[in-house]
Chain A
Amino acid sequence: MSLSLSFDIGRSSLSTSADRTSVVTRNVARADDPDATRKSVAAVTLYGGGVQAGGAQRATDSVLFDGLLSSNSRLGAQAAVKAGLDQYSTAIGDASQERSPAALLGKLQNSLQALSVAPHDTASAEAVVNAGLDLANQLNVLSSTISDIRQTADADISRSVLSMNTLLAEFDEVNTSIVIGTHSGDDVTDQMDRRDAILKELSGEVEIRSIVRENNDMVVFASGGLTLFERSPRSVGFESTPILPAGSTGSSMFVDGIALDAADASGNVEGGRIAGLLYLRDTVAPALQKQLDEVARNLVQVFAESDQSAVPTLADQPGLFTFAGATGVPPANTIVDGLASQIQVNPNVIPSQGGDLGLLRDGGISDPLNAAYSYNLAGHTGFNGRINELIGGLNSAVGFDPAAGLGETGDLVSYAADSEAWLQELRSNTTRVYEYEAVFSERAVEALSSATGINIDEEMIELLDLERSYQASSRLLQVLDDMFNSLFAATR
């Protein structure tokens, strides 16, 4: 061991301290960045003594990180579904506001009840027409809310896909620099932080899984094994459908040429915001629309008028409730797509549109000039047979299309209430899962950050440590210098 060697070692100790200090500085600077991981530099002993700062290492915890990614995905999906359901629920309003189809149907029924004991009473008849207008209007509004939800979801998917493509392009860049850097032993920890951050963002959009290959090269798959990135980003495609009328289907989102499934085999929504939006657009909203359409169709049916001749020959015609371009009553037990958006009160009973309120009692709303549809040919103002029939119709079992998912028979009012219960159950479940996932996600972020993140106090302590080591090395060099000085003094 020579004095020169001691000089070298002292120098290497100083430079190592400087390297490690720079890492501490980097850590402190990014202490509040949730994507930052703690970097550390290990001191490596060199051949023949001396010390060198090894490559920077980042603290990682792949289990926690994967947990965070999947929690992120589930949260994204639930948030998307929840937002849609909340929007629809707001359009319906609280039960106490009585704006739901069920409540409005009840109001219609109650106004009919009032009319049935005073069939001559114009005010009561007007109340019925107003209740009908309210109901038809609310069905239209809800129907357009559903279209709105679907179109918004569609536009959101389009935006998400755009951002995914951007993220994948950036991923490509970062991944390549990581691979090159890893080859040549450069410090790639910051790039890896960035790559993890991109993965976090991607996981919000779709459920992802990643494999790390040689040289930190990463392969990313979406749910169902669809390739998102393998050496190069795969195409993520989606064609937005700006207008989505009831009964129409939106286009699928394609990853690497395969449509992304929004739901798993048991019908539960997959992870990721896009899956949630697809589920909302293609499963939840259409189901709500179908239920509304069934309410509307049976409303038309219950209020339909039949040929009252001794020998009926004419087909039934829509009565109080009709729809644009109606040529008859829609067939039983079959959904008419979008009927809820077209249903309206027949202008023939609306006084402001030249209608006659009396038709409500007498029948013949469909065609006031055709006596065959009149239930009260004598024109008696006290006639309440038709009104009682309508009340009965509202309370008796009618058929529903099982495709709407709410059973095949039942009375209209209960059906509307069931539809609301269906919605609220879904909403309640989704909200519960969402809140659980939100807490889980917070915990995952905290747990990951605790495992891999930066604690300023710890960095400060490390800094103290480094300061001491630097001081000691400097002191050592000074002593060596003194020794040489005495040697030089001897040669003088």
Chain B
Amino acid sequence: MKTTFVSTFSIGEATRNSIARAQTNLTRAQTELSTGQLQDAGRELGATYGSLVGFRQEHAELGALRDSNSQVAAQLDVAQLSLQSLVDGAKDFVAQLVGAQQVGLEGNVLQQLGEAGLATLTDRVNVQYNGAYVFAGTNTGAPPLVDYFQSGGSAAKSAMDSAFAAEFGFNSSDPRVAEISGAEMSAYIGGSYSAVFDDANWQANWSSASDTVPNLKISSYETVRAPASANESAFSKLASAYAAAADFGTENLGSAARQVMASSLAELASEAIDELGALQAGIGTSQERIPLANDRLGIQQSILSNSVSELNDVDPFEASTRLTTLLTQVETSYSVTARINQMSILNYL
């Protein structure tokens, strides 16, 4: 016969179980309160956990893009500055030429302008960012422009020399250059001289840059082109202007030829300035896109952060309330257990 509905074992077991469960929940609530995140996101979220992983991964990917964008932006800034400086130099060169033309081109002014321009050009084109030559196309490991004045002579110099010799039958350092007429000089500069700077010869003798300009990814589906390659005609034109001035704009040259040269070179340099401007505009467009892209990435990142928090974060107020409730529950359980254990008919027999 069974008259009661609860056994002694069952009383002890029930209180023990409820305390054990409350304590497990207590440690969980405590961890969640201190970290602000779910103690075991996988268990809580189940299949949604994939989204959490995805969001986190996408967030990191966007972060990586933003990091790399800052590099791209800096690279473009360096290129823009260099181009600006080249444009400024070229404009100065043109102004000097025009000014000098009016007062007469005395002595080696032309040569000095040319040498200075060439040095600036080489310096600016061979500008580096983060150890890579900015205007080198993909061949960032080697300076895109040769040092025209390097000791032992450069291929560019000898190409210039041989072209000059082929045209006039003597070297540019030959005293006979004084005999070159303006028409001859005009014909040379307007004719076979430009062949020295055509794409094939430019790449063979002057530039080691590659034609391929890498595309740089700035967001998931957007790319910008890296700064122009030194193989752009803007650079070769400018180089041809500077090189002509430096190489045979010497004091030995006849004044007529010098005049012709000055105006032709000013023209060449002006063309180069225009083309450099176009390059600058291209880089400028890219530069502009990067902050825009960054803004978008930032917005996406914050949306993703929100999504991650929504999935993974614990409301501190809720967690703290839960903790308090659990503490009360455990304390109640303790006192109930203690009282139940004291309660026995043996005390009254």
A and B touch in the complex (CB under 8 A): yes
Report if B151 contacts A (CB, 8 A).
no
* Docked CA distance A479–B132 (Å): 122
Are the C-beta atoms of B214 and A103 separated by less than 8 Å? no
Q: Which of A421, A431, A464 contacts B47 (CB 8 A)?
A: A421
Q: Does B102 belong to the interface (CB within 8 Å)? A: no
Residue-wise, chain A 445-466 has the 8 Å CB interface mask toward B (1 for contact) of 1110111111111101100100
Closest Cβ neighbor of B67 among chain A residues = A114
**Is there a chain A Cβ closer than 8 Å to B54's Cβ?**
yes
Question: Cβ of B178 < 8 Å from any Cβ of A?
Answer: no
Of the 9-residue stretches A181-189, A268-276, A376-384, which lies at the interface with chain B?
A: A376-384
Q: Which of B36-44, B83-91, B155-163, B277-285 contacts A (4 or more CB under 8 A)?
A: B36-44
Q: Which chain B positions have C-beta within 8 A of A98? A: 56, 60
Q: Which residues 357-395 of A sit at the B interface, judged by CB distance below 8 A?
A: 376, 378-385, 388, 391
Q: A113, B43: Cβ atoms under 8 Å?
A: no
Cβ of A235 within 8 Å of any chain B Cβ, yes or no, is no
Most chain B CB within 10 A, of A378, A383, A424, A457, is at A424
Assess the B50–A420 pair: CB atoms within 8 A: yes
Q: Are A388 and B215 in contact (CB under 8 A)?
A: yes
- Is B17 a contact of A442 with CB atoms below 8 Å? yes
Q: Which of B37, B40, B44, B140 contacts A380 (CB 8 A)?
A: B140
Pair B44/A428 contact, Cβ less than 8 Å: yes
In the bound complex, residues from chain B placing their C-beta under 8 Å from that of A118 are 71, 130, 132
A113 touching B217 by the CB < 8 A rule?
A: yes
Chain B residues with CB under 8 Å of A422's CB are 47, 50
User: B44 → chain A, closest Cβ, in Å?
Assistant: 7
Set B2, B8, B21, B45: member contacting A428, Cβ < 8 A: B45
| Contact between A109 and B61, CB atoms less than 8 A apart | yes
Contacts of A439 in B (CB 8 A): 21
Q: How far is the CB of B102 from chain A (nearest CB, A)?
A: 45
In the complex the two chains form, is A110's CB within 8 Å of B60's CB?
yes
A121 interface residue per 8 A CB criterion: yes
A sample of 23 inter-chain contacts (CB < 8 A) reads: A40-B2, A94-B40, A96-B56, A100-B53, A103-B53, A103-B56, A103-B57, A116-B68, A116-B216, A380-B139, A380-B210, A381-B140, A382-B136, A383-B212, A384-B214, A418-B50, A424-B50, A425-B49, A428-B43, A445-B10, A450-B4, A453-B9, A464-B349
* B58: nearest chain-A partner, CB-CB: A106
Top 3 closest pairs, chain A to chain B, by CB: A421-B50, A453-B7, A382-B140
Is B5 at the interface (CB under 8 A from chain A)? yes
Once the chains are docked, how many angstroms separate the CA of A388 from the CA of B225?
Answer: 13
Residues of B in contact (CB 8 Å), total 65
Verify A106–B57 contact, CB threshold 8 A: yes
Q: Does A414 reach chain B (CB closer than 8 Å)?
A: yes
Given the known interface contacts A59-B2, A418-B50, A424-B50, the answer about A431 and B9 at a Cβ–Cβ threshold of 8 Å is no
**Is A408 in the interface zone, CB < 8 Å from B?**
no
In the complex, are the beta carbons of A89 and B42 less than 8 A apart? yes
Query: Are A380 and B72 also in contact (CB < 8 A) when A96-B37, A445-B13, A454-B9 are?
Result: no
* Cβ of B137 under 8 Å from chain A: yes
A85 to B226, CA, bound (A): 48
B111 touches A (CB below 8 Å): no
Q: A86-123: which have CB < 8 Å to B?
A: 89, 94-96, 98, 100, 102-103, 105-107, 109-111, 113-114, 116-121
Chain A residues within an 8 Å CB radius of B45: 424, 428
Q: Is the C-beta of B95 less than 8 angstroms from some C-beta in chain A?
A: no
Is B56 within 8 A of A428, CB to CB?
no
Interface centre among B9, B48, B54, B216, by most A CB within 10 Å?
B9
CB < 8 Å neighbour of A378 from B40, B64, B210: B210
Q: Does B6 contact A (CB under 8 A)?
A: yes
What CA separation (Å) do A334 and B130 show in the bound complex?
Answer: 44
Residues 63-101 of B, flagged 1 when their CB comes within 8 A of A and 0 if not, give: 111011001100100000000000000000000000000
A118 to chain B minimum Cβ distance, whole angstroms, is: 6
Across the interface, which residues of B come within 8 angstroms of A116, CB to CB? 68, 216-217
Are A94 and B56 touching (Cβ within 8 A)? no
**Of A95, A102, A446, A458, which contacts B13 at CB under 8 A?**
A446
Residues of B within 8 A of A418 (CB): 50
Question: Contact at A382–B60, with CB atoms within 8 Å?
Answer: no
- Please determine whether A120 and B46 come into contact, CB atoms closer than 8 angstroms: no
Is A429 in contact with chain B by the CB < 8 A criterion?
yes
Chain B residues with Cβ below 8 Å from A458 are 3-4
* Chain B positions within 8 Å of A464 at CB level: 349
With known contacts A110-B61, A117-B68, A450–B10 Cβ distance under 8 A: yes
Residues of A contacting B349 in the complex (Cβ-Cβ under 8 angstroms): 460, 464
